Amino acid sequence: MFDFTLTSERPIAAGMYVNGQWLSRGPASAAIEVENPANEDVVATITEGTETDAGEALDAARRAFAPWAGRPAIERGRLIAALADEIDAHKDHLARLVTLEQGKPLGHATQEIDAGITFLRYAAENARRIEGDIVTSDNRDEEIHIRRHPYGVVVGLTAWNYPFALAARKLGPALVAGNTFVLLSHEATPLSGLALASLSEKAGLPAGVFNVVTGRGPVVGAALVQSPMSDLVTMTGSTRAGREIYRAGADAIKVVRLELGGKAPFLVMEDADIDRAVQAAVAARYTNCGQICTCNERMYLHRAIADEFLEKFVAASKALTLGDPLENADLGPKVNRVERDKVADIVASAVGAGAAVLLKGGIREDGAFSKGHWFAPTVLEASKNDNPAVQDEVFGPVATAVRVDDYDMAVRFANDTPFGLSAYLFTRDHKRLAQAPYRLKFGELYLNRSNGEAVQGFHTGWGLSGLGGEDGRYGFDGYLRKQTAYLNWG
């Protein structure tokens, strides 16, 4: 059992969940401290898993596979729905846990738990939608049947920015499809995955169907990817790690699905509803302290409205509160010191390359911020599209604006990136809106609205932003492989 209430005065020690058992490796095993990013207190210690632990978890998942896949899908769906109910019943504790390990404001952490519940309930509904095709044959007395089967053992690797929702997003469809699962919960935010395991136990998932290991990606994660016992790897994280994982899976020709970084352009044209665009741009930049793959990472503003937009945007950025996430400030801390400093480094190189500072937020270490990893909203204006703040993913509360002469220039600048996750466009011109899907080379478009994908949509990155996609029917289909049978009765 893992006590996800985190109400103990002292840091709790959390083991791994393998084959329905909580493994406590004892004091001899290496441990990783989980830090509250708001005050640097240690909230828990987790086991630093090894290659052997990865092997044990995969072995458990492999042994659980045949009986799990052999159950009617509706039974698997009922268990996933039961897991969603358990989460719902413990929502307050889970939201607090996410805030304590990741740093997002409590209200937003509650939204994250709700998102996890939605992913699981939607997955459960798909239990009746595993379908095949019967195709006309060229031969007499023959039919071609295309069936869908689970892959076997799925490995899930998740990012720290939405540790609970990202795990649930992968787990639900993978299990309903009939696969079993081994999750490596990111070492910076491992407790959410362990809480999910705890609740899966309460919900009655059979031993071995869902296993959670903890430790470092390049060690335990790499072992999970390289092992011949895993059949599909689904990873959400950085493009850097995605490349390593893709390479590591290559020898075994492993199915690898990658949801990676983004660099979303935010286009505001001369005919846009400016107030609406500002509100959306603020939400899309600063929610979760700017740590969302679909965040507004660079704003292309038509010259005719740039001054008005920036005046309102800077004022709104300045008005945001930075503070205790348990007290629901607008922005909590960055997840850790390394991530905070990465953002500061990008700002320094952007300014070095000529960006003007419109709002100097930056690192805060004064007074109430002396402990924790605080970074205040910062607004830059760049004159060139090759400025580092315009090209590199910032993943923090730094907004960068670039003025453009017209829509064509905005589209050209927007597409000038190897990333292709999401893009925003604000305009009242219906021709531009209708053409945007043909002109913007991104997997997800937000036209006259802020971010936030729907469970029935398809969250997919192009280019360096990934390979695969999640949610909706295409996301579910990703956990099923196809088989063709030629059935001749002549």
User: Which member of 86, 101, 201, 259 is catalytic?
Assistant: 259
Q: 114 to each of 94, 101, 103, 117, 175, how far by Cα in Å?
A: 10, 18, 17, 5, 19
3-state secondary structure of 331: strand
Taking the least distance from each CB to ligand NAD, the nearer of 222 and 359 is 222
- Active-site annotation holds for 339: no
Q: Is the dihedral of CA 241, 244, 248, 249 positive or negative?
A: positive
Contact between 33 and 2 under an 8 Å Cβ cutoff? The reply is no
Q: Considering the complex, what minimum distance in angstroms separates the CB of residue 247 from ligand NAD?
A: 9
User: Which member of 293, 297, 381, 444 is catalytic?
Assistant: 293
Contact between 413 and 387 under an 8 Å Cβ cutoff? The reply is no
Q: Considering the complex, what minimum distance in angstroms separates the CB of residue 218 from ligand NAD?
A: 4
- Cα 40 → chain centroid: 24
Q: Is the dihedral of CA 32, 393, 262, 425 positive or negative?
A: positive
Q: Considering the complex, what minimum distance in angstroms separates the CB of residue 54 from ligand NAD?
A: 10
Q: Considering the complex, what minimum distance in angstroms separates the CB of residue 281 from ligand NAD?
A: 18
Secondary element (H or E) of residue 224 = helix 222-226
Amino acid, res. 297: E
Q: Considering the complex, what minimum distance in angstroms separates the CB of residue 259 from ligand NAD?
A: 3
User: Up-side HSE of residue 422: CA atoms within 13 Å toward CB?
Assistant: 27
Contact between 373 and 335 under an 8 Å Cβ cutoff? The reply is yes
Taking the least distance from each CB to ligand NAD, the nearer of 395 and 413 is 395
Q: Considering the complex, what minimum distance in angstroms separates the CB of residue 153 from ligand NAD?
A: 15
**Residues at the contact surface with ligand NAD, assessed by CB under 6 A:** 157-161, 184, 186-187, 217-218, 221-222, 225, 235-238, 241, 244-245, 248, 259-262, 293, 393, 395, 421, 459, 461, 465-466
Q: Considering the complex, what minimum distance in angstroms separates the CB of residue 69 from ligand NAD?
A: 25
Measured N-to-C along each axis, helices 163-176 and 73-89 cross at an angle, to the nearest 10 degrees, of 160
Q: Is the dihedral of CA 66, 251, 155, 295 positive or negative?
A: negative
Taking the least distance from each CB to ligand NAD, the nearer of 309 and 419 is 419
C-beta atoms surrounding 60 within 10 Å: 24
Taking the least distance from each CB to ligand NAD, the nearer of 217 and 472 is 217
3-state secondary structure of 431: helix
Q: 283 to each of 17, 19, 287, 292, 444, how far by Cα in Å?
A: 37, 41, 6, 11, 17
Token pair of 152, please? 């076997």
* 315 vs 330: CA distance, rounded Å: 15
Cβ neighbourhood burial of 327 (10 Å; 0-12, 13-18, 19+): exposed
Q: Considering the complex, what minimum distance in angstroms separates the CB of residue 125 from ligand NAD?
A: 22
Contact between 420 and 461 under an 8 Å Cβ cutoff? The reply is yes
* 178 vs 330: CA distance, rounded Å: 40
Strand 462-463 vs strand 419-420: parallel, antiparallel, or unpaired? antiparallel
Q: Is the dihedral of CA 286, 287, 289, 293 positive or negative?
A: negative
Measured N-to-C along each axis, helices 163-176 and 191-203 cross at an angle, to the nearest 10 degrees, of 40
Q: Considering the complex, what minimum distance in angstroms separates the CB of residue 453 from ligand NAD?
A: 9
- Active-site annotation holds for 293: yes
Tell me which residues are annotated as active site. 259, 293
